[in-house]
Structure 1
Amino acid sequence: MPQVIELAEAARQYDADGAPALGPLTLAVEAGEALSVTGPSGSGKSTLLNLVAGLDKPDSGSVTVAGERIDRLSERALARFRRDRIGMVFQFFNLLDDLTVTDNVLLPAQLTGRTGRAATARAAELLETLGIARHAKAYPGRLSGGERQRVAVARALINRPDLLLADEPTGALDTASGAEVRDLLTDLNRSGQTVLLVTHDLALAEACASRRLHLVDGRIAADRAVVAR
């Protein structure tokens, strides 16, 4: 299987006199994998996510995503790469309250110039698949937390990304809504979507992932397959 993520001796250090926030770290994630990343606060989880998303660059080593050396890209090229190749889901949804559900989902497509019937049909398909088609014309403020996170997932998938990044996707949800999002991420991966999930929730990490990475002090402390999902 092709590799969607490849880090080669990637390291990031914010404090010149302190220990590296991450690495040096070598990691490969194949297409179709669901990798959960866990670890205590300060272990490097967010730094790893930011490097893979192109929101930060390593001080040394390389970061390749979907075949592109993103650590060599300019900020403008990185923005285009994220828009076209990566979907991102955040803890607090980041939806625009003055836009309808459909318009929120369509935003990334509009940024790529993909407008009209094809984009609208894709949005409708995602809302139907994710079980929120009845809310297409509603505004986010009228939805539950779990429903808003489903809208955020639909928005992340609108451009058919190579990689879905999920940063604490259940952190702001109640237990029932969190279970819905857990099942959703599991189903997405089973359909072939490559997922990188960063979470403090060990139950979520075990339920959603085919592989679990545990970081301590910026290094890999454990890397193992999740047998049963």
Structure 2
Amino acid sequence: MTTPVIELRDVRRAYDDGPPALHDASLTVLPGEAVAILGPSGSGKSTLLNLIAGLDRPDSGTVTVAGVRVDRLGEAASARYRRAKIGMVFQFFNLLDDLTVADNVVLPAQLAGMARAEARKRAAELLGALGVDRHADTYPGRLSGGERQRVAVARALVNRPPLLLADEPTGALDSASGEEVSALLAELNADGQTIVVVTHDLALAKSCTTRTIRLVDGHVDDDLTAGTAR
């Protein structure tokens, strides 16, 4: 039996006195899947992402990612978990403008304890594979949005994480750059990378994922293939 990369069971998370951001949410993602999490603002998408990434804890229920009980981790262990198990791509790239492209990619590898020479080699391989190796010594501010997002993907993959999380990865890009990044995510998944994309964009979900999960008012409303999502 295949062990899931992500397994959430009966997860609840509430803030202050408002309604729960997530309520009795259960979700399983298998290795090699590309899953889109869709839903309007306030549906629980960000909360779900933060729980999977170990940035937040549920009030009840369990969160297991790549064999790790994420809901049981303390702050230091959560940081180690993210370095080893999770690659994250954000809407606004979150690159460090005072570091070169290569140094941005190398940084998480060195924080995880990878030898500098090995980290440099891995970064060069990724930048080449993603078509931005010519910018290795350039600072991020000189790149286009699409190029910066490719660098961000390289940084996310440098530690070979079993799971790539993408939070609105095309939200800050023009249409052409967005299509390039969407195609890149599809290519990565075709090569076996497990991906979860959190988005409100159904077109993105259809173009780079094979399964769509809709959140409504904090619970899973639909679990469909991207091609049949409503």
Normalising to structure 2: TM-score of the pair?
0.96
Q: Distance in 1 between matches of 2:27 and 2:201?
A: 22
Q: Distance in 2 between matches of 1:19 and 1:64?
A: 24
Q: Which residue in 1 is equivalent to 2:6?
A: 5
Q: Distance in 2 between matches of 1:8 and 1:216?
A: 17
Unaligned runs of 5+ in 1: none
CA shift for structure 1 position 159: 0.2
Q: Distance in 1 between matches of 2:179 and 2:76?
A: 37
Q: State whether residues 37 and 212 of structure 2, in contact with CA within 8 Å, keep that contact through their aligned partners in structure 1.
A: yes
Q: What pairs with 1:73-222 in structure 2 (closer than 5 Å)?
A: 73-222=73-222
CA shift for structure 1 position 221: 1.2
Q: How many residues align structurally?
A: 227
- Report the AA paired with residue 7 of structure 2: E
- Report the AA paired with residue 28 of structure 1: T
Unaligned runs of 5+ in 2: none
- Report the AA paired with residue 187 of structure 1: E
Matched residues, percent identical?
Answer: 66
1:23-81 per-position Cα deviation (integer Å, ceiling 9, x unaligned): 21111000100110011110000010000000000000000000111101111100000
- Secondary structure at the counterpart of residue 5 of structure 2: strand
Structure 1 stretch displaced more, 18-27 or 47-56: 18-27
Normalising to structure 1: TM-score of the pair?
0.97
Q: Distance in 1 between matches of 2:227 and 2:221?
A: 19
1:157-215 per-position Cα deviation (integer Å, ceiling 9, x unaligned): 00000100000000100001000100000000110000010011110011111110011
CA shift for structure 1 position 15: 2.8
Q: Distance in 2 between matches of 1:215 and 1:70?
A: 21
Residues 1:32 and 2:32 are matched in the alignment: yes
CA shift for structure 1 position 220: 1.1
Q: Distance in 2 between matches of 1:179 and 1:123?
A: 24
